[in-house]
């Protein structure tokens, strides 16, 4: 206690035991001594049940392995993961969210194992496009994001786009829009007809990022966005660009014209999903995960990626790997952990997970059993189109450790007409510039 009262003592200093990438001599579980593998994840609902089945199958395949699964909620995992991985009895396999605050912080502290050796041994890189995996990469000192060693792997992904109510669109006499102008026209027609053009609830704050990036991805160049998010050009890049201003202006205009659910800043996201499924709203700009709410076989709803400015231009949208599986540096059984990750990201696992609305990242996924007219069918077709065009942009809020707070607050203010475009880009650029300055 004396040291605490005395001159301030430096906190931290927990560093992982191993930070060099292990290179396994063989794949799969070797050896027969009993091994207990502790896995921390944040899966819920149908996905969680599939995980239980996959775990059981893995234990059947390797009878000496016992998997101890610790289920956490998303926010619970976020708040407790760092303490657990840095603690004396860390879990072996964890779902570590990408970006600076989670995976970046763990890598910097040397608490995650680089997976490059395993990726090579298991051929992971041949199965998932390299560009898509960039968000799971950090340099070992975590000074750079989007490049360096692989710290997490998953076979399934996420994508933002526009869900639409087919019945309502037909009633309005509209086709699925092929250009951004057609989409804006559809919003106006829907508004005139007394419909809610875009179902949107932003009380929880996160949903606003999807609305903004859906527009931004169409207007700003894709390379600029990727460079911005990965800080590839340091302080040379600014958030204050004509394209970002234009995207912000469009979003503000849509809010001003009443294209979103009334009082959206005071409406919960889950409420609005439920209401959209029940038939309130023509469009909803959000992620693939609401397929679980709509029902994958439902033919009354469809999905498209926000259409480009010019018909036929390649589709660009926010998305990428879902929560990746990572191995704690202090794990006593990294080889077993790697075999487990391989199992959870296998084609077999993918086939089980696709009907939940998760998108296969690996090339050549078998989707033959899925009705192309259903919402899941349209989602998978769009995901395939985006993959082929290499059109995925990482989440905007990964750009800096505080970007989520800054952008979500600024978007609420912009869409609530509290601030203008000028202030919006200035606020966000201040965050970006401060982070670039801090990296030296």
Partner 1 sequence: MDDVVAPVALEAVRRRGPERLPGEPRAVGYLFVAPAFLIYAAFTLVPLLHAVNLSFFEWDGLTPGTFVGLRNYAAFFTDPLIRSSYGHTLVLIVFFSFLPITIGLLLAASLSRIRIRGLTFFRTILFVPVIITNVVVAVTWAWIYAPDGPLNAFLRAIGLGHVARAWLGDFTWALPSVGLVGTWGEFGFCMILFIAGIMKIPASLYEAARVDGAGPVREFLAVTLPGLRHELTVALVLTVIDALSTFDLVYVMTSGGPGTATSVPAFQVYSRAFLTNQVGSAAAIGITLMLIVFAVTFGITRLMERGEG
Interface positions with partner 1 (CB under 8 A): 1, 4-5, 8-15, 78-79, 82, 86, 101, 105-106, 108-109, 111, 202-205, 261-268, 271, 401-402, 404-405, 408-410, 412-413, 416, 418-419
Instruction: Count the alpha carbons within 13 Å of 138 in the hemisphere toward its beta carbon.
Output: 28
Q: Retrieve residue 82's tokens.
A: 């760092």
Rounded to whole angstroms, how far apart are CA atoms 324 and 318? 17
CB of 13 to partner 1, least distance (A): 5
- Is the distance from CB of 132 to CB of 321 less than 8 angstroms? yes
SS3 content of the chain, % helix, strand, coil (to 5): 45, 15, 40
Cβ closest to partner 1, residue 29 vs residue 328: 328
CB of 257 to partner 1, least distance (A): 17
- Is the distance from CB of 204 to CB of 330 less than 8 angstroms? no
Cβ closest to partner 1, residue 111 vs residue 361: 111
350 CB-near residues (< 8 Å, 6+ apart): 155, 156, 360, 362, 365
CB of 208 to partner 1, least distance (A): 9
Cβ closest to partner 1, residue 102 vs residue 158: 102
CB of 86 to partner 1, least distance (A): 6
CB of 268 to partner 1, least distance (A): 7
Strand 35-41 with 65-71, pairing:
parallel
- Is the distance from CB of 270 to CB of 276 less than 8 angstroms? no
- Is the distance from CB of 282 to CB of 164 less than 8 angstroms? yes
Rounded to whole angstroms, how far apart are CA atoms 437 and 235? 7
CB of 302 to partner 1, least distance (A): 26
Classify burial at 361, counting beta carbons within 10 Å of its beta carbon; exposed 0-12, middle 13-18, buried 19 or more.
Answer: buried
CB of 227 to partner 1, least distance (A): 23
102 CB-near residues (< 8 Å, 6+ apart): 78, 81, 82, 96
Cβ closest to partner 1, residue 127 vs residue 210: 210
Cβ closest to partner 1, residue 208 vs residue 308: 208
Cβ closest to partner 1, residue 267 vs residue 380: 267
Cβ closest to partner 1, residue 125 vs residue 203: 203
CB of 223 to partner 1, least distance (A): 28
Cβ closest to partner 1, residue 64 vs residue 73: 73
């Amino acid at each position: 206690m004396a040291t605490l009262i005395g001159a301030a003592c430096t906190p931290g200093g927990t560093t992982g035991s191993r930070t060099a990438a292990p290179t396994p001599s063989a794949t799969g579980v070797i050896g027969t001594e009993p091994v207990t593998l502790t896995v921390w994840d944040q899966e819920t609902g149908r996905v969680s049940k599939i995980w239980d089945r996959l775990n059981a199958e893995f234990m059947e395949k390797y009878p000496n392995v016992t998997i101890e699964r610790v289920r956490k909620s998303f926010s619970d995992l976020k708040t407790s993961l760092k303490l657990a991985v840095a603690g004396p009895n860390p879990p072996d396999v964890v779902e570590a969210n990408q970006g600076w605050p989670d995976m970046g912080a763990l890598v910097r502290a040397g608490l995650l194992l680089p997976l490059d050796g395993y990726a090579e041994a298991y051929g992971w890189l041949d199965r998932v496009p390299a560009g898509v995996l960039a968000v799971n990469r950090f340099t070992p000192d975590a000074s750079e994001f989007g490049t360096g060693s692989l710290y997490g792997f998953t076979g399934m992904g996420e994508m933002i786009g526009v869900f639409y109510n087919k019945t309502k669109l037909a009633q309005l006499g509209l086709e699925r829009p092929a250009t951004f102008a057609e989409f804006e026209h559809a919003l106006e027609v829907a508004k005139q007809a007394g419909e809610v053009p875009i179902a949107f609830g932003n009380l929880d704050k996160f949903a606003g990022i999807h609305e903004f990036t859906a527009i931004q991805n169409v207007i700003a160049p894709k390379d600029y966005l990727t460079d911005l998010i990965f800080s590839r050009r340091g302080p040379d890049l600014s958030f204050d660009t004509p394209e970002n201003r234009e995207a912000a202006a469009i979003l503000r205009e849509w809010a001003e014209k009443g294209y979103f659910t009334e009082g959206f800043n005071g409406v919960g996201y889950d409420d609005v999903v439920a209401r959209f499924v029940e038939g309130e709203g023509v469009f909803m700009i959000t992620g693939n995960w609401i397929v679980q709410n709509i029902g994958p076989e439902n033919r009354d709803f469809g999905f498209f990626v926000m259409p480009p400015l010019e018909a036929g231009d390649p589709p660009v949208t926010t998305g990428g790997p879902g929560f990746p599986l990572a191995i704690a540096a202090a794990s006593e059984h990294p080889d077993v952990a790697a075999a487990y990750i391989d199992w959870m990201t296998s084609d077999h696992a993918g086939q089980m997970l696709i009907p939940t609305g998760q998108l296969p990242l690996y090339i050549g996924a078998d989707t033959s059993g899925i009705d192309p007219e259903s919402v899941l069918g349209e989602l998978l077709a769009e995901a395939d189109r985006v993959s082929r065009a290499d059109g995925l942009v990482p989440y905007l809020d990964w750009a800096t450790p505080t970007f989520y707070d800054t952008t979500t607050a600024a978007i609420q203010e912009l869409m609530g007409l509290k601030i203008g475009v000028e202030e919006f880009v200035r606020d966000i650029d201040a965050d970006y510039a401060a982070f670039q300055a801090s990296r030296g």
